[in-house]
Amino acid sequence: MKCPYCASFSNRVVDKRLVKGIGDIRRRRECLKCAKRFTTYEKLAELDFVVIKRDGRHETFNRDKLRLGVEKALQKRPAFDRVDSVVERIERRLRRRGNKEIPSKFIGQMVLLELKKIDAVAYLRFVSVYRQFESVNDFAKELTTIAKI
């Protein structure tokens, strides 16, 4: 690892910790040449998979896009602080499937299941976009379904 201060490659790891909720590794390093400390993060490189969109297009999976959808659903909700954990669980399940191609419909259903567990309003927000609600009746039907649970 190159020191950001003096560009030396001589350093030692002073502290190593897992980043909570993400699984990355945080390493605190000390340069042996200039004695300054710096932090590095290590992330497991994983193989990308492809999302098959509704119209048949293929698109590389984008974690940020998934996160944005979950954030929008949970915006201004008490469970907003759980966005990272929801995204992490969904991505972990997708990677465990082992398939290189995953339908967007499957990802949407996973998001719905996660949101249903933690926040009914966020679930309703997401389902209205996901299922392309066009009238108040669509909302009423979904509210009836949620109320039964």
The pLDDT confidence band at residue 39, using thresholds 50, 70 and 90, is very high
Residue 138 has pLDDT above 80, yes or no: yes
- 113 and 49 in contact (C-beta within 8 Å)? no
Report the candidate in 129, 95, 94 with the shortest Cα–Cα distance to residue 110.
94
pLDDT of residue 21: 66
Query: Mean pLDDT over residues 72-85, rounded?
Result: 93
Domain boundaries, given as residue ranges, for the chain? 11-42, 50-148
pLDDT digit string (tens) for 90-128? 988 988 887 889 999 999 999 999 999 999 899 999 999
Residue 130 has pLDDT above 80, yes or no: yes
The pLDDT confidence band at residue 7, using thresholds 50, 70 and 90, is very high
